[in-house]
Structure 1
Amino acid sequence: MNTIQQYPRVFISHSHQDKPFVERLVKDLLDANLNVWVDKQELAPGDSVIEKVSHGLRSSD
């Protein structure tokens, strides 16, 4: 039987002062096959920040 492995989804909340650390952390988590929600990848100009962050939190483990 084939099963699809679902990897945990991690929500990253951070200060922009920590951007270099967060970028490395996101890379390391992705390399470990985790799904990552981070503003840089998930928010686009014109998006509702409240809606996007709320959805990111709800869909994270």
Structure 2
Amino acid sequence: MVARCYLLEIFISHSHSDRGFVNILSLELINRGFYLWVDNYELEPNQTLDTSIHAAIEECSHFCMFYPRVQLILNGT
């Protein structure tokens, strides 16, 4: 087993409306030596989303959430 050596291990949560931005950001962070868990990259075909997300949150040292601006406006915040 090879040990992982990353600057940070980051779980990224986002809505589909932010996918384009998150993809660009993800590639930039990966190129800079960060490990990311993003559902559209890491989810295996035979895994359930809930199980995979819980395991990834436990493994990652940081959590980053992108909340759609439209949703914030609709919620009145």
- Output the TM-score relative to the length of structure 2: 0.68
Q: What secondary structure sits across from 1:44 in the alignment? A: coil
Q: Structure 1, unaligned stretches of length 5 or more?
A: none
Task: Please identify the structure whose Cα radius of gyration is greater.
Answer: 2
Which structure shows the bigger proportion of residues in strand conformation?
A: 2
C-alpha distance in 1 between matches for 2:4 and 2:58: 20
Amino acid at match of 2:34: L
Report % sequence identity. Answer: 31
2:20 aligns to what? 20
Cα gap change, 1:34/1:50 in structure 2, threshold over 3 Å: closer, same or farther? same
What is the root-mean-square deviation in Å for CA atoms of aligned residues?
1.7
1:6 aligns to what? 5
Q: Structure 2, unaligned stretches of length 5 or more?
A: 62-77
* Moved >3 Å (runs of 4+): none
Q: What do the CA deviations read for 1:20-50 (whole angstroms, capped 9, x no partner)?
A: 1000010011011000100011113341111
Provide the aligned length of Structure 1 versus Structure 2. 58
Q: What secondary structure sits across from 2:14 in the alignment? A: coil
C-alpha distance in 2 between matches for 1:25 and 1:16: 14
